[in-house]
Amino acid sequence: MSFDAFVRDIETVADSLGLNRFALFGLSQGAALSIAYAAKNPGRVSHLILSGGFGKGWRLLGNPAEIARREALMTLIRHGWGLDNPAFRQVFASRLFPDATPDTMHWLNELQRVSTSPDNAVRVQEALAEFDVTGLLSCVTTPTLVLHSSGDGASPIGLGLALARGIPNARFVEIDSRNHIPLSHEPSYSRYLAEITGFLEEPTENQLPGRTA
């Protein structure tokens, strides 16, 4: 399990589905994976959308407090991820979505439990600790939209700004939310969707108006 293997997963899915050209949405660590894929396959990605993203893994960001938090979180994963009691997983859900409704928080907690085992959850965290795609930003030629919540505690807005500044002609949109992405009960949710759909409707240089890739 590694960052490069995750990028190959994107390649495998795109090839298996026969997608010659498609829009790519990268959320959180998926933003870096999408950047790596788009830089390697510029002709296949029509639109690149990055949300709540960052260009370096948490160890390479070099923030001692954040590294300590991540190490503590991995201890929680090892010992509490698979338990019926959601208290351990609540730490992760609250960090990403502090303003989630009780129903949404319950759904997030349960989603974490059923999605992967404690061991694999730790392996994912380790695989995403030391990647660095900042050197690829200038190589991205795909039209790019970067969205980031203004109060994102899991991924501070400065990390999204750095992506937008490094990718040529990228558009940056700040979203008024404390959640990693805005949730449907928030006023900013409709704007978030409108920015994405409006961007996808814009023709690229290899598209004719009114046609999709």
Q: Indicate the domain borders of the chain.
A: 3-56+132-200, 64-127
Query: For residue 55, is pLDDT > 60?
Result: yes
Round to whole Å and give the CA distance between 110 and 46.
Answer: 34
Q: Return the minimum-mean-pLDDT range out of 30-34, 72-76, 150-154.
A: 72-76
Please, which residues have CB within 8 angstroms of residue 59's CB and are 6 or more apart in sequence? 67, 70, 129, 130
**Where is 187: in which H helix or E strand?**
none
Tokens at 97, concatenated: 């979505």
pLDDT at 208: 33
Which superfamily is assigned to 3-56+132-200 in CATH? Alpha/Beta hydrolase fold, catalytic domain (3.40.50.1820)
At residue 206, the pLDDT reads 46
* pLDDT tens profile 10-23: 999 999 999 999 99
Distances (CA, A) of 203 to 89, 92, 172, 192: 42, 38, 18, 20
Alpha-carbon 16 to chain mean position: 23
Confidence of residue 154 (pLDDT cuts 50, 70, 90): confident
Q: How far apart are CA 72 and CA 81, in angstroms?
A: 13
Average pLDDT, the chain: 88
